[in-house]
Chains A and B, each alone.
Chain A
Amino acid sequence: MEKEHGHGKHQYGMVIDLDKCTGCGTCMTACAAENNVSVRPDESDKQRSIAWMQLFKITNGKEFPHTEVSYFPRPCMHCNENGRGHHVSPCVSVCPPTATQLDLDTGIVSQIYTRCIGCRYCQAACPYKARYFNWWDGYFPKGKGLERYLSPEVSPRMRGVVEKCTFCHHRLMRAKTKAYAEGRREIEEGEYITACAEACPAQAITFGDLNNPKHKVSQLIKSPYAFRLLERLNTKPKVYYLSTKDWVRKMADNYLPGEFKPVTKIGG
């Protein structure tokens, strides 16, 4: 693992415990509220609606009464590689105007809206469908007063650009500013966490530096139950999931019959 996230100083990442996740959607709401994500009157058109953090519902497919439901909260995976061994995420490698970049010091995949030309290449390249295109300007009709709750920390997007989860990058800036003002060069664990991790009422989301062995995330990813989505694409996502349920882990990738290996030996 260390090797995998070895580039750069910090590699921020997230671990989502699906056994704890209750599917309540607070992460989605917190994310939208934190990042000025616009809400349109019809959010049921999932091809058009924007959700940096998106909840997916899965079922084990068994008949009543053996049915089980589980949820996958899906932020941007902040991939470290493009799947062919190159040290760029799949979206970064295709972006013509360099509107998106993988920051080596933090591992965060950024998105610069004013550079984006709206070609949607990155959307096509992203295996996780974590990128969203603005088909319209944000929905803030005159006289409705919705713009009053917008946060100045994140710029509202305009029609024609792609947006996505930034791991609440502005919160990193905030934490750094605070640390610098106090004469520190480094920030402590917990000083910078994303809005979704902070909001989760069941504490299912843990956020921290995967490169720092003292951070909880770097310990959690060693669990035999830890996995990533579509791991075999080799995009090296920095969002990990935990689930003790075989059927949930199996959903995370496409397996041939008999290929999936359930966890049999539980270490540590």
Chain B
Amino acid sequence: MSIEITRRNFIQFLVGCVAGIHATPLPWKLTDDIAIWTQNWPWVPVPPVGEFTHVNSVCRLCPGGCGIKVRKVDERAVKIEGRTDYPLNPGGICPVGMGGLQLLYDETLRFPGPMKRVGPRGAGEFANISWEEALKLLNDRIARLRKEGRPQALAAVDGNPRRSTMSVMVERLLRAVGSRNYLNIPGAEDLSSMVGELMQGTEAPVAFDLENADYILSFGCGLLEGWGAPGRVLNAWGLWRSEPFKGKVRVVQIESRASNTASKADQWVPIKPGTETALALGLAHVIIKERLHDTRFVNDYAFGFNNWRSGYGKERMGFKEMVLKQYSPMRVAYVTGLNPDQIVSLAKEFARAKAPVAIFGKGKGNLSGSLYEAMAVHSLNALVGNINRPGGALVPEPLPLSSLPEVIPDDAARRGLEQGRLDQAGSWRYPFTRSLVNNLTEAILSASESPVDTLLIFSSNPAYTLPDGGAFRKALGKIPFLVSFSPFRDETALMCDLILPDHTYLEKMDDVAWPPGLQYPLYGVSRPVVDPLYNTKHAGDVIIHLAKGLGQAVGSAFPWKNYEEVLKARAKGLYEAGGGLTRFEEGQTPAWKMVNKASGSRPGYKSFDDMWKQIKGGGLWYKPSPAERNWEGLFKTPTGKFEFFSSRIELAFSRAAEKRPLQAVLKSMGVQQTGDEACMPHYEEPRLNVDRSAFPLQMVPYEMINLASDWIPNPPYLYKSLFDTQLLKDDSFAEINPKTAAKYGLKQGDLVMVKSPKGEVRVRLNLFEGAMPGMVYLPMGFGHTAYDEFLRGKGANPNDIVHGPKDPLSGYPIWWITPVKLVKV
């Protein structure tokens, strides 16, 4: 029997099929099966379940030191959250801290154990060695230097925050070995210390009572880009925009580019980069001229405001005469690019506010700044008498940590310590600067043979982060033996001969000694959240071990069994100082409110051991004390007053001039002014010595809060939050004003080379109205050549092309005005 296929029964068949398919479960079952089958590949991870716990600790990814709560499932850490029981950052943290687990668990970012370089420098080819062998290599090296009578050829570059116990340990090791060449990576805190020392007589960095201020005049501080302690500053920002402060707090951002801070501020004052000093002094001019300054403060508690007579009866110029004569709104307007009315109204607003505060420290504060500029800004706080007043700038007492017993150098060490520092910091040329990595670079590059034989590198990535046009990287190439303590495979570590990897911050105990700029002393201790994943060792323990292996003389400087004992020994001072708190409860009066009134704080501990147990168990020590303090006896300067005219600078000049003409002294210090102004904050246009017709534009690097630009690798999560006008495939973007683009015939997205006298980088262009015409803004944090596929080869590092002179007096590099040109690719 056969069925004849006719049109009719063919259609019948089709209709039957369509009807039938709805009746049979087969296709649905198949679809479902396929779905299940395709969704259960063995390579799709299934996170194991387990017991949920959390560990309280402190974030040490930046000196800001937020409180963090880490959620764990059995032994795995699965999420980092902000702590609500921490006074600094009640609940919130920054995006880098939030992404911290990727730095812990991304194996290809890390060194799994001690290693020895086997390939060429920078190639990242290493062989595993044992800790014993690794420590012996370094030990022999240092012992040999001491035997040869040149222990000073051991140097260290340290990125640990100031005051931290690790920084004390590294410096101590060098001292015990016999070298003064301990260098800290310079940052805004150093500048703040210098301002404290020169103007207030206390080396502690100036602190700012931001939460209680009602007018914040920020000279380029990236308040929303990670300035100070980011957890605290961002929280303060939220407070300013909430009841009862909403509409009563005014934030004014002085910056050339519409950054997040500038845009979100109540007022954006765009000025030419590097002219902040002139603006600060212009504001001072108006304040003094309009008699809006605090006459009681400037007359009774300040030195060098009015003209004065020296011991020889010679009349000397005071701050008042200087600013009135030289910083009229007209002149300042010309220098800064503002109009004179703006300057006048800004000055009046600042001086008339109840609690105005002027703050300094460019961007995140990771990089150095200008000394005269910081002094000029701080003189505004003094002018309005808002020093040690609620909402003002504070002269902090140093954190009362115990000092460790004196190091007694042996003969070998003493010989080394008699040698001057290679970076000349503290010498007559740079009398107030603690360390100058840029000078070390110069010393190495200008010598035929590197004066440094062995360089130890701690918690820093100077080959990437220093704004020096790549000079430090070149210098590294000349140093015979490089040792990295970094847990991460960063650019500097890849050049090193020996890797002694530290734990990451989630695997170890370490301290945060007073986050930068905070108005009350705070000491936090991180604790191991997870056991060390790899064969790493705490750098503090390695130092102790190393010192003990170098013989009795060096070893006796480190009488402790382990690093925790050192932390405890220092923390004893906190107990002895008395009165601090070790607990902060959620919902408690915020610590910044307590500084408003004398607080009768009851410590929650019985003995030092009890206190230490609390601190190291995820607690902390803090001591909110009233901001209001008498100006009498507050300033420990030579004159006993706040100094507009720094007698320490004058003394440094005259001491240096004993052996050489004053003109030569000032010239070596890079100070152009020769009169009394040189001892006061004043504006000088930096001399670039570059043909500006060849490099008509200026490159200004800028920082972002969602891109780590310091030594910490950027957690990959953060790349999600970057826009495709910041990073596209492997190209980062330069921001320029559409007018500048039009002038050079450039369009959105164009590939260009940014060329400076130091080199060139390739970027794409993003036309941004918020960019000042004539400027080229390059983001920092791109252009890594190290780490893994998430970070490597993405974008350009502006540090590679930075070109500039040194900041007068401090000797820090000026990195914010590199002359460049754009060449279309």
| A interface with B by C-beta (< 8 Å) | 17, 19-20, 22-26, 28-30, 32-34, 36-37, 39, 41-46, 49-51, 55, 57, 59, 61-65, 67-70, 113-117, 137-138, 140, 142-152, 155-156, 158-161, 195, 198-204
**Set B31, B98, B716, B788: member contacting A26, Cβ < 8 A:** B98
Besides the contacts A20-B241, A69-B258, what 17 more A-B pairs have beta carbons closer than 8 Å?
Answer: A25-B721, A28-B717, A33-B80, A36-B47, A39-B790, A43-B716, A50-B720, A59-B258, A64-B771, A68-B258, A149-B79, A150-B47, A199-B98, A201-B91, A201-B238, A202-B92, A202-B238
> Does the CB pair A59–B80 fall under 8 Å?
no
> Does the CB pair A25–B82 fall under 8 Å?
no
Bound: A23/B106 CA distance, A: 26
Bound: A66/B659 CA distance, A: 54
> Does the CB pair B706–A199 fall under 8 Å?
no
CB distance from A155 to the nearest CB of B (A): 8
Q: Evaluate whether A152 and B769 lie within 8 angstroms (CB atoms) in the complex, with A39-B717, A39-B720, A202-B237 already known.
A: no
Most buried by A among B48, B79, B728: B79
**5 nearest A-B pairs in the assembled complex, by CB-CB distance:** A201-B92, A25-B721, A202-B238, A201-B234, A67-B770
> Does the CB pair A29–B241 fall under 8 Å?
no
Chain B, range 168-204, C-beta contacts under 8 Å to A = none
Residues of B in contact, count (CB < 8 Å):
81
Bound: A61/B769 CA distance, A: 7
Q: Does B585 contact A (CB under 8 A)?
A: no
**Set B31, B79, B258: member contacting A117, Cβ < 8 A:** B31
> Does the CB pair A22–B45 fall under 8 Å?
no
Residue interface bits B678-722, CB-to-A below 8 A is 1, else 0: 000000000000000000000000000110000000011111111
CB distance from B336 to the nearest CB of A (A): 12
> Does the CB pair A146–B105 fall under 8 Å?
yes
Q: Which residues of A contact B89 (CB under 8 A)?
A: 201
Q: Does B353 contact A (CB under 8 A)?
A: no
Bound: A159/B43 CA distance, A: 11
Bound: A71/B820 CA distance, A: 31
> Does the CB pair B737–A146 fall under 8 Å?
no
Most buried by A among B46, B230, B238, B729: B238
Quick one: closest B residue to A39, CB to CB? B716
> Does the CB pair A202–B234 fall under 8 Å?
yes
Quick one: closest A residue to B269, CB to CB? A65
Bound: A143/B706 CA distance, A: 27
Bound: A19/B241 CA distance, A: 7
Bound: A202/B44 CA distance, A: 36
Quick one: closest A residue to B36, CB to CB? A114
**Set A26, A33, A202: member contacting B101, Cβ < 8 A:** A33
**Set A41, A44, A116: member contacting B727, Cβ < 8 A:** A44
Q: Does B773 contact A (CB under 8 A)?
A: yes
CB distance from A51 to the nearest CB of B (A): 5
Bound: A155/B187 CA distance, A: 43
Q: Which residues of B contact A140 (CB under 8 A)?
A: 43, 45
Bound: A152/B91 CA distance, A: 23
Q: Which residues of A contact B721 (CB under 8 A)?
A: 25, 28-29, 51, 55
Quick one: closest B residue to A142, CB to CB? B43
> Does the CB pair A152–B724 fall under 8 Å?
no
Q: Which residues of B contact A116 (CB under 8 A)?
A: 35
Q: Which residues of A contact B102 (CB under 8 A)?
A: 39, 146, 149
Quick one: closest A residue to B80, CB to CB? A33
Bound: A28/B39 CA distance, A: 26
6 contacting pairs across A/B (C-beta < 8 A): A64-B737, A65-B270, A140-B45, A158-B40, A198-B81, A200-B238
CB distance from B784 to the nearest CB of A (A): 13
> Does the CB pair B105–A49 fall under 8 Å?
no
Q: Does B93 contact A (CB under 8 A)?
A: yes
**Set A42, A70, A150: member contacting B45, Cβ < 8 A:** A150
**Set B38, B101, B718, B772: member contacting A149, Cβ < 8 A:** B101
Q: Which residues of A contact B50 (CB under 8 A)?
A: 152
Bound: A198/B49 CA distance, A: 23
Quick one: closest B residue to A68, CB to CB? B263
Bound: A70/B78 CA distance, A: 32
Q: Which residues of B contact A117 (CB under 8 A)?
A: 31, 35
Quick one: closest A residue to B732, CB to CB? A44
Bound: A149/B75 CA distance, A: 11
> Does the CB pair A147–B106 fall under 8 Å?
no
Q: Which residues of B contact A55 (CB under 8 A)?
A: 721
Bound: A146/B788 CA distance, A: 13
**Set A25, A156, A199: member contacting B705, Cβ < 8 A:** A25
> Does the CB pair A59–B770 fall under 8 Å?
yes
Q: Evaluate whether A199 and B241 lie within 8 angstroms (CB atoms) in the complex, with A22-B234, A29-B98, A64-B769 already known.
A: no
Q: Which residues of B contact A39 (CB under 8 A)?
A: 102, 716-717, 719-720, 790
**Set A26, A51, A151, A158: member contacting B94, Cβ < 8 A:** A26
Q: Which residues of B contact A113 (CB under 8 A)?
A: 39
Bound: A154/B641 CA distance, A: 61
Q: Which residues of A contact B99 (CB under 8 A)?
A: 29, 33
Quick one: closest A residue to B31, CB to CB? A117
Quick one: closest A residue to B721, CB to CB? A25
Bound: A147/B47 CA distance, A: 7
Q: Does B450 contact A (CB under 8 A)?
A: no
**Set B40, B224, B533, B772: member contacting A23, Cβ < 8 A:** B224
> Does the CB pair A138–B82 fall under 8 Å?
no
> Does the CB pair B45–A138 fall under 8 Å?
yes
Q: Which residues of A contact B46 (CB under 8 A)?
A: 155-156
Q: Does B789 contact A (CB under 8 A)?
A: yes
CB distance from B684 to the nearest CB of A (A): 25
Most buried by B among A20, A57, A143, A160: A20
Q: Which residues of A contact B101 (CB under 8 A)?
A: 33, 149
Q: Evaluate whether A64 and B772 lie within 8 angstroms (CB atoms) in the complex, with A114-B36, A151-B79, A161-B39 already known.
A: yes
> Does the CB pair A202–B235 fall under 8 Å?
yes
> Does the CB pair A144–B95 fall under 8 Å?
no
Q: Which residues of B contact A22 (CB under 8 A)?
A: 224, 234, 237, 260, 264, 705
Q: Which residues of B contact A148 (CB under 8 A)?
A: 76, 105
CB distance from B489 to the nearest CB of A (A): 13
Q: Which residues of B contact A57 (CB under 8 A)?
A: 723
CB distance from A78 to the nearest CB of B (A): 21
Q: Does B210 contact A (CB under 8 A)?
A: no
Q: Which residues of A contact B38 (CB under 8 A)?
A: 158-160
Quick one: closest A residue to B91, CB to CB? A198
Bound: A24/B234 CA distance, A: 9
> Does the CB pair A24–B705 fall under 8 Å?
yes
> Does the CB pair B729–A42 fall under 8 Å?
yes
**Set A43, A144, A202: member contacting B107, Cβ < 8 A:** A144
Bound: A36/B712 CA distance, A: 22
> Does the CB pair A44–B737 fall under 8 Å?
no
> Does the CB pair A200–B108 fall under 8 Å?
no
Q: Evaluate whether A25 and B719 lie within 8 angstroms (CB atoms) in the complex, with A64-B773, A156-B46 already known.
A: no
CB distance from A267 to the nearest CB of B (A): 16
Q: Which residues of B contact A30 (CB under 8 A)?
A: 81, 98
> Does the CB pair A146–B106 fall under 8 Å?
yes
Q: Evaluate whether A29 and B47 lie within 8 angstroms (CB atoms) in the complex, with A114-B35, A143-B107, A203-B238 already known.
A: no
Bound: A55/B704 CA distance, A: 14
> Does the CB pair A44–B48 fall under 8 Å?
no
Bound: A145/B38 CA distance, A: 24
> Does the CB pair B73–A151 fall under 8 Å?
yes
Bound: A151/B268 CA distance, A: 42
CB distance from B303 to the nearest CB of A (A): 38
Q: Does B77 contact A (CB under 8 A)?
A: yes
Quick one: closest A residue to B789, CB to CB? A41
Q: Which residues of A contact B128 (CB under 8 A)?
A: none
Q: Does B599 contact A (CB under 8 A)?
A: no
Q: Evaluate whether A29 and B729 lie within 8 angstroms (CB atoms) in the complex, with A156-B45, A201-B230 already known.
A: no
Q: Which residues of B contact A65 (CB under 8 A)?
A: 258, 268, 270, 772
Bound: A65/B257 CA distance, A: 9
Q: Which residues of B contact A29 (CB under 8 A)?
A: 95, 98-99, 706, 715, 717-718, 720-721
Chain B, range 106-152, C-beta contacts under 8 Å to A = 106-108
Bound: A200/B108 CA distance, A: 30
